[in-house]
Amino acid sequence: MTQHDFKPLRLHVPEPTGRPGYPTDFSYLHLAPAGAAPRPPIQARASDTADLAASLVRVLDDEHRAVGPWAPQLDPERLRAGLRAMLVTRIFDARMLIAQRQKKLSFYMQCLGEEAIAVAHSMALRDGDMCFPSYRQQGLLIAHGVPLVEMICQLLSNEADPLKGRQLPVMYSRKRSGFFSISGNLATQFVQAVGWAMASAIKGDTKIASGWIGDGSTAEPDFHNALTFAHVYRAPVILNVVNNQWAISTFQAIAGGERATFASRGVGAGIASLRVDGNDFLAVFAASQWAAERARHNLGPTLIEWVTYRAGAHSTSDDPSKYRPADDWQRFPLGDPVARLERHLEGLGEWSAGQGEQLRKEIEAEVIAAQKEAERHGTLLDGRVPPADSMFEDVYAQMPAHLRRQREQSRSES
């Protein structure tokens, strides 16, 4: 009887090692020591990067010194600028979290613990390049010097909201800062970034695109569409996968991260790929610069998996204590990107605890002042939002007859 030749099959359902009350075993991350990963020339082929896609590019060692071939030669002034942008991002997030709890805004999403990725990446891009972010790259806007008042007005959906109250908070759009309109639909922007890069190549331009996606969203078809098109047309694009280990409550193993890195998908698709310590500001800058140089030299796309940890709740509607250990971030082996850069600067004699304290106070005051100014244009609490009439605009370039009729009806019935 052949049916007895085999044991019954079993469905494998991945589980995180840590759950509330049980600590996570982070050995699954397969970390490499700082400085160990080689830095290939930007002409590297996809197959040359197979080892890098399985390893980890790190610059800052346990003593916070910059070591190895990836150490970028960034002067302390630029490092301090990066530190400042990271701190603005973190303090901004914390203030907006409070504002959400006070019901001044309906919803918010922090990027706590992931600040280095967007900020350092932004510093490796040039004016005119275009990012296609997900909802957790507010650091790109802040590093670009976008006025906090404008960002808060979007969050408040108030009378000065540049998106006229049409979008959920954090779904920013700012073309002139190289920041594409955020959509709630996951992964869609990843393939759009490739199309933008193809357009730049079609026109013989020198601008590049940078696409963003989380670990969970790599399971969406547009992740694969993006890799295929980027590879086929050698599009000048950087494909960023921010692996923060969690997609809401779902551990990255359920997205396909068990026994295979997300960077390895890039190699499989014929794209040069790196796996990088996302909490190491210097490594993020160096890897981003490497990928940007490749793209600019028409050498094709690069995929980068940023290994980090989603330190905060998924959103203000989420309670992570229901599905993961409360002290997980403290135990995450790659630490806190802000603290690591501060220790590095201190080691160089370019920073002190006093300066850190002073800077934090300064930023706190800046964010509070911006919030006050933004609230002068209204909040959800006082109902000073863009007029109802304006919702009929921008559906089409010219308002068609049926929308003019509906606008009339809306006026007469309100």
**Shortest distance, position 103 Cβ to another protein, whole Å:** 24
* Identity of the residue, 353 or 397, whose beta carbon is nearer to another protein in the bound complex: 397
**Shortest distance, position 359 Cβ to another protein, whole Å:** 32
Residue 206 contacts another protein per CB under 8 A:
no
Residue 188 contacts another protein per CB under 8 A:
yes
Q: Which residue, among 288, 254, 255, 260, has the nearest Cα to 274 in the 3D structure?
A: 288
From candidates 87, 198, 287, 374, binder to another protein by CB under 8 A: 198
Q: Given the rule CB under 8 A, which of 53-61, 91-99, 110-118, 199-207 is the region that contacts another protein?
A: 199-207
Residue 106 contacts another protein per CB under 8 A:
no
The residue count for binding another protein (CB under 8 A) is 45
From candidates 106, 228, 249, 315, binder to another protein by CB under 8 A: 228
Q: Given the rule CB under 8 A, which of 67-75, 185-193, 243-251, 258-266 is the region that contacts another protein?
A: 185-193
* Identity of the residue, 226 or 370, whose beta carbon is nearer to another protein in the bound complex: 226
Q: Which of residues 362-381 bind another protein (CB under 8 A)?
A: none
The CA distances from residue 27 to 171, 188, 270, 297, 324, in Å, are 35, 32, 28, 37, 16
Residue 222 contacts another protein per CB under 8 A:
yes
Q: Given the rule CB under 8 A, which of 25-33, 195-203, 259-267, 301-309 is the region that contacts another protein?
A: 195-203
Residue 412 contacts another protein per CB under 8 A:
no
Distance CA 319, CA 313 (A): 6
Q: Given the rule CB under 8 A, which of 36-44, 58-66, 226-234, 256-264 is the region that contacts another protein?
A: 226-234
* Identity of the residue, 9 or 401, whose beta carbon is nearer to another protein in the bound complex: 401
Residue 221 contacts another protein per CB under 8 A:
yes
Dihedral sign from CA coordinates of 42, 48, 49, 51: negative
Residue 13 contacts another protein per CB under 8 A:
no
Q: Please, where are the H alpha helices in 48-75?
A: 50-54
Q: Which of residues 138-167 bind another protein (CB under 8 A)?
A: 162-164, 166-167
From candidates 132, 135, 285, 351, binder to another protein by CB under 8 A: 132
How many Cβ atoms from other residues are within 10 Å of residue 190's Cβ? Answer: 28
Residue in the structure block whose two tokens are 């509070």:
368
**Shortest distance, position 414 Cβ to another protein, whole Å:** 20
Distance CA 156, CA 241 (A): 29
Q: What DSSP element (H or E) covers 211?
A: strand 209-214
What phi and psi values does residue 306 have, to the nearest 5 degrees? -95, 115
Distance CA 194, CA 307 (A): 22
| Residues in contact with 365: Cβ distance below 8 Å, sequence separation at least 6, in sequence order | none
Rg (C-alpha) for the chain, rounded Å, is 22
Residue 413 contacts another protein per CB under 8 A:
no
The CA distances from residue 99 to 88, 123, 155, 235, 365, in Å, are 16, 29, 10, 41, 15
Residue 23 contacts another protein per CB under 8 A:
no
Q: Half-sphere exposure (CA, 13 Å, Cβ side) for 110?
A: 25
For the record, the structure tokens of 266 come out as 């890039």
Cα 154–Cα 244–Cα 72 angle in degrees, nearest 5: 90
**Shortest distance, position 179 Cβ to another protein, whole Å:** 9
What phi and psi values does residue 255 have, to the nearest 5 degrees? -85, -10
Residue 202 contacts another protein per CB under 8 A:
yes
| Residues in contact with 357: Cβ distance below 8 Å, sequence separation at least 6, in sequence order | none
**Overall residue count recorded for the chain in this entry:** 414
* Identity of the residue, 98 or 388, whose beta carbon is nearer to another protein in the bound complex: 388
List of residues contacting another protein (CB under 8 A): 130, 132, 162-164, 166-167, 171, 173-175, 180-181, 183-185, 188, 191-203, 209, 221-222, 225-226, 228-229, 232, 394-397, 400-402
